[in-house]
């Protein structure tokens, strides 16, 4: 995994802008701490930061290949899980390879098939290829959007990067947020609309899309999308096919030239991934390393809630013992979280959500000395239907994004009254919701109930999943760790898209189909365990810690957040005592949001325009 960035300009000579291109790449060092490079031509400067995973000596980037006197240069972030198959196909077409890397396979795939090469790729990727002969730049992002990619146009320039900080390192891109960006930030929070970069004039390449940049402009193409059709397999055949797809995805994603492990919480998703990976390791005479997260004092502090029914620790041990993994518990304490509270914001270039991201970042940082790559159970809930809003009528039938039913993403209660009318977050969310519904791939003849289920899945795929993948990518890459997500194999998602809810909810259990698919590799009690959310820190000392930070911000009074938020309300909340009506978790989330916004606006020198 790596970080990529580049600058295309149709007027100035970029061979003289090496220092700026280097500065853009340097912002991505945590994504790629092992090596860096740049390639300059009069029109284009490409740069790369590398995290070595495959072919340490042969995968240096930017990589340049000349065919018939025509030069092609690539900067690439990701992994191709079918690169060996593609390499054999390309060799059959006469290509001679100089390395073992998937980078060269991707570059030669573009040379052979042009922009259509993306239709042959199975993996997670974001890349840019400059064709010197045709004077055009081609960019693409993977089917599901696992790897990030942003761009901005400024006059004769086109700039891109894995993260927005790379763009902001170029003098042409300022950290400006206009009313549209502020509305999106306040209305949607971390669940920002796909494609929206928040900063003025910054755009995110959508999943399954590619861009071709020429002197005539930017042409955007959608190369992959979900297709709705009738599902004809019975339950047994469906479960078997899902099992085969998962086993293929997981085993393909074990390819690595560096140490690889698996995250194991004891929940169904990570347990199934870890069990299959452990079996593949055993067949090679190896033992899989697995990792779980635990908070100091969690047995004392934990309180069951609708999203967390019990503690993970006993279940992680149960699966590790059953699968024969070398399991390690990463123990986090309150100071770990408070000391790193702004790291998620720095990784995202935007305000983050709090300790669920800080703890994930700290977990990855503590895993890094032992592994460079890890598998994750991320995304199973979105594609199999694990959240309560898939099946609880009161939540699934609300006329808004389902996660808003639990208050996720609403902060307008502290927005300054004079701004609130301009931003109108309620209207903005409603517009975004209706926009998303218009994009749902419909199936003619479906019942109203089935059509609503399809809507819920689409909303999750395009609204909730992007946040989860963004969180996973930014927190892991900030720790220089590559995390792979087998549940985001596009073949699996294509198949599941049309599987009826009755099968996904088999036996009246959330993810009943997945439980059946994993039943051959997991103990029965693990298969039947109720879903529980990513663990949060329940230590009262953490709540007091974030409250103290908010008190400092409020008492200082000079924070730029007071251009947006009501100072008096924040000051009053900083001295709040007693029981918060929405509960301690909601209060903690509120404090964390203030801290994140303050840190972001200060450190990025955000200018409201």
Catalytic positions, written as ranges: 2
Place of tokens 């700290």: 362
Sign of the CA dihedral 165, 601, 552, 188? Answer: negative
Going by C-alpha positions, the residue among 514, 517, 494 that lies closest to residue 504 is 514
| Strand runs labelled E in 436-583 | 482-484
381 appears as a binding residue in the annotation: no
**DSSP state letter for 392:** -
In the block, residue with structure tokens 């977050």: 425
For 123-222, where are the alpha helices, taking DSSP H only? 164-168, 179-188
State yes or no: 376 annotated in a binding site.
yes
- How far apart are the C-alpha atoms of 188 and 184, rounded to whole Å? 6
**Separation between Cα atoms, residue 565 and residue 466, nearest integer Å:** 27
Using alpha carbons, select from 530, 538, 547, 533 the residue that is nearest to residue 590.
547
DSSP assigned state of 530: P
Spacing of C-alpha 117 from chain mean position: 23
Tokens of 447: 């019942």
User: What angle is formed at CA 452 by the lines to CA 447 and CA 458, rounded to 5 degrees?
Assistant: 130
β strands within 223-325, DSSP E = 260-263, 289-295
Rounded CA gap, 591 and 573, in Å? 9
Residue in the structure block whose two tokens are 């307008």: 412
Nearest residue to 390 (alpha-carbon basis) of 218, 249, 509, 240: 509
Q: How far apart are CA 583 and CA 565, in angstroms?
A: 22
Give the whole-angstrom CA distance, residue 473 versus residue 575. 36
What are residue 5's phi and psi, to 5 degrees? -160, 165
Helix (H, G, I), strand (E, B) or coil at 200: coil
Burial class of residue 282, CB neighbours in 10 A (0-12, 13-18, 19+):
middle
Answer yes or no: are the C-beta atoms of 88 and 111 closer than 8 Å.
no
What is the C-alpha to C-alpha distance for residues 459 and 461, in angstroms, rounded to an integer? 6
Neighbours of 303 (CB within 10 A): 9
Does 421 appear as a known binding residue? Answer: no
Residues placed in the known binding site for L-glutamine: 102
Residues placed in the known binding site: 102, 376-377
Residues placed in the known binding site for ATP: 376-377
């Amino acid at each position: 995994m790596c970080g990529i960035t580049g600058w295309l300009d149709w007027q100035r000579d970029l061979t003289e802008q090496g220092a700026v291109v280097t500065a853009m790449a340097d912002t991505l060092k945590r994504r790629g701490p092992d090596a860096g490079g740049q390639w300059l031509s009069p029109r284009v400067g490409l740069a790369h930061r590398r995290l070595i995973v495959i072919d340490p000596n042969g995968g240096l980037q930017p990589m340049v290949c000349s065919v018939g006197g025509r030069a092609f240069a690539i900067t690439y972030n990701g992994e191709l899980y079918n690169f060996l198959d593609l390499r054999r196909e390309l060799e059959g077409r006469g290509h001679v390879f100089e390395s073992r890397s998937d980078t060269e396979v991707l570059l030669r795939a573009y040379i052979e098939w042009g922009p259509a090469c993306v239709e042959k790729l199975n993996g997670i990727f974001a890349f840019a290829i400059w064709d010197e002969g045709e004077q055009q730049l081609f960019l693409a992002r993977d089917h599901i959007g696992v790897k990030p990619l942003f761009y901005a146009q400024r006059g004769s320039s086109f700039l891109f990067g894995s993260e927005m900080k790379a763009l902001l390192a170029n003098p042409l891109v300022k950290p400006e947020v206009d009313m549209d960006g502020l509305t999106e930030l306040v209305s949607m929070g971390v669940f920002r609309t796909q494609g929206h970069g928040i900063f003025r004039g910054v755009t995110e390449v959508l999943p399954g899309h590619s861009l071709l940049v020429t002197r005539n402009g930017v042409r955007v193409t959608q190369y992959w999308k979900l297709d709705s059709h009738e599902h004809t397999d019975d339950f047994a055949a469906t479960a078997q096919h899902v099992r085969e797809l998962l086993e293929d995805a997981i085993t393909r994603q074990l390819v690595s030239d560096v140490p690889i492990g698996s995250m194991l919480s004891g929940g169904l998703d990570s347990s199934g991934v870890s069990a299959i990976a452990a079996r593949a390791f055993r067949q090679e005479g190896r033992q899989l390393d697995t990792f779980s997260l635990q908070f100091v004092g969690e047995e004392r502090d934990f309180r069951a809630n609708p999203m967390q029914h019990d503690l993970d620790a006993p279940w992680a041990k149960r699966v590790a013992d059953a699968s024969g993994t070398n399991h390690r518990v990463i123990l986090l304490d309150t100071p770990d979280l408070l000391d790193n509270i702004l790291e998620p914001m720095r990784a995202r270039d935007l305000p983050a959500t709090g300790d669920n991201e800080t703890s994930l970042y700290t977990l990855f940082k503590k895993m890094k000395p032992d592994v460079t790559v890890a598998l994750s159970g991320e995304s199973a809930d979105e594609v199999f239907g694990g959240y309560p809003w898939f099946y609880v009528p009161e939540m699934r039938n609300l006329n808004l994004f389902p996660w808003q039913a639990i208050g996720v993403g609403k902060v307008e209660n502290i927005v300054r009254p004079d701004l609130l009318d301009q931003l109108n977050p309620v209207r903005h969310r409603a517009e975004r919701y209706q926009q998303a519904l218009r994009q749902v791939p419909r199936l003619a003849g479906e019942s109203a109930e089935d059509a609503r289920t399809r809507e819920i899945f689409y909303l999750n795929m395009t609204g909730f999943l992007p946040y989860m993948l963004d969180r996973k990518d930014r927190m892991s890459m900030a720790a220089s760790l590559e995390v792979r997500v087998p549940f985001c194999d596009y073949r699996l998602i294509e198949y599941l898209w049309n599987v009826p809810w009755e099968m996904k909810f088999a036996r009246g259990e959330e993810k009943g189909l997945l439980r059946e698919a994993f039943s051959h590799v997991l103990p029965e009690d693990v298969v039947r365990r109720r879903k529980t959310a990513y663990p949060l820190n329940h230590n009262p000392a953490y709540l007091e810690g974030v409250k103290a930070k908010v008190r400092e911000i409020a008492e200082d009074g000079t924070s730029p957040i007071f251009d947006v938020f009501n100072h008096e309300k924040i000051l009053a909340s900083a001295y709040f005592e007693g029981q918060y009506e929405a509960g301690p978790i909601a209060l903690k989330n509120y404090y964390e949001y203030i801290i994140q916004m303050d840190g972001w606006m200060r450190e990025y020198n955000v200018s409201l325009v």
